[in-house]
Amino acid sequence: MMRQFLYNCVTLAVIVDPVGTSAIFAGLAAGHTAAFRRSMALRGTAVAFGLALFFAFSGEFLLRALGVTLPAFQVAGGALLFLLATDMVFARHHTGLRETTDAETREAEQSADISVFPLAVPLLAGPGCLTSIVLLMRQAEGSAAAEALVVLALAVVMLAALVSLLVAGRLVAVLGVTGINVVSRVLGIILTALAAELLLSGIRAALFAPQG
């Protein structure tokens, strides 16, 4: 159980990337008061957690309603996470997978509330996070204990993200841009392996699925 919990935590932490997200948040909230930054961090994390929970318990139902099989979703999710990992390893910005695009950043700078957009979505609960949470819940195979471990891992990662957001200014000052990119690159390498595993699992499931 502990091994599965750690796997869930690593998977979600690599994708959410609290350190990298806090650096983006520090730039978006620059010039605002400490109270404003704290409020945005708390609200954004809460919204992201709620959205991820919704996908955790409704994602598979939505897939079935759309006629999407689990192997197909695993392959698509693996490909998406691989693209995300590539961005992280090469420190590419503004692709829209993990960070905001230039147009989204300009919109966020003009808004007084950045908690829902772009903090909650797409920075904390982006495509990679939502895809992963659905897959992790599916791997639980209906076991209440296994599903509880996924939710607990999500809570731990979101709490880590909240702490990173609250100390974003100091974190950026200590690590600098280079340090943050190094952390993101290391996480990207780990995510590449996880993405490859998802792709292989999806392909195996599709090839060896019982015909009926």
Total count of domains within the chain = 1
Residue indicated by tokens 């392959």? 75
Q: Where are the alpha helices (DSSP H) in 90-143?
A: 102-110, 127-139
**pLDDT (0 to 100) of residue 38:** 96
Q: Are 5 and 170 in contact (CB under 8 A)?
A: no
Is the predicted pLDDT of residue 158 greater than 60, yes or no?
A: yes
Q: In this structure, what DSSP letter does residue 123 have? A: I
**pLDDT (0 to 100) of residue 6:** 96
CA distance 189 to 212: 39
Residues 6+ apart with CB under 8 A from 176: none
User: Quick one: the chain helix, strand, coil %, rounded to 5?
Assistant: 80, 0, 20
Query: Does 191 reside within a domain?
Result: yes
pLDDT band, very low/low/confident/very high, at 42 (cuts 50, 70, 90): very high
CA distance 89 to 24: 17
Q: Are 190 and 81 in contact (CB under 8 A)?
A: no
**pLDDT (0 to 100) of residue 205:** 85
CB half-sphere exposure, 15, CA atoms < 13 A: 30
* First CA to last CA distance, the chain: 34
pLDDT band, very low/low/confident/very high, at 144 (cuts 50, 70, 90): very high
Sequence letter at residue 53: L
Percent of the chain with pLDDT over 70: 88
Higher-scoring residue by pLDDT: 39, 80:
39
Q: What is the mean pLDDT of residues 116-123?
A: 90
pLDDT band, very low/low/confident/very high, at 97 (cuts 50, 70, 90): low
Which two tokens mark 84? 């995300």
**pLDDT (0 to 100) of residue 110:** 62
**pLDDT (0 to 100) of residue 211:** 55
Q: What is the mean pLDDT of residues 171-189?
A: 88
Is the predicted pLDDT of residue 180 greater than 60, yes or no?
A: yes
Query: Does 212 reside within a domain?
Result: no
**pLDDT (0 to 100) of residue 19:** 92
pLDDT band, very low/low/confident/very high, at 167 (cuts 50, 70, 90): very high
Is the predicted pLDDT of residue 194 greater than 80, yes or no?
A: yes
pLDDT band, very low/low/confident/very high, at 55 (cuts 50, 70, 90): very high
**pLDDT (0 to 100) of residue 43:** 97
**pLDDT (0 to 100) of residue 8:** 96
Query: Does 28 reside within a domain?
Result: yes
pLDDT band, very low/low/confident/very high, at 12 (cuts 50, 70, 90): very high
Q: In this structure, what DSSP letter does residue 91 have? A: T
- Which pTM value belongs to this model? 0.83
Query: Does 50 reside within a domain?
Result: yes
Domain that holds residue 128: 2-207
Residues 6+ apart with CB under 8 A from 52: 125, 129, 130, 133, 154, 158
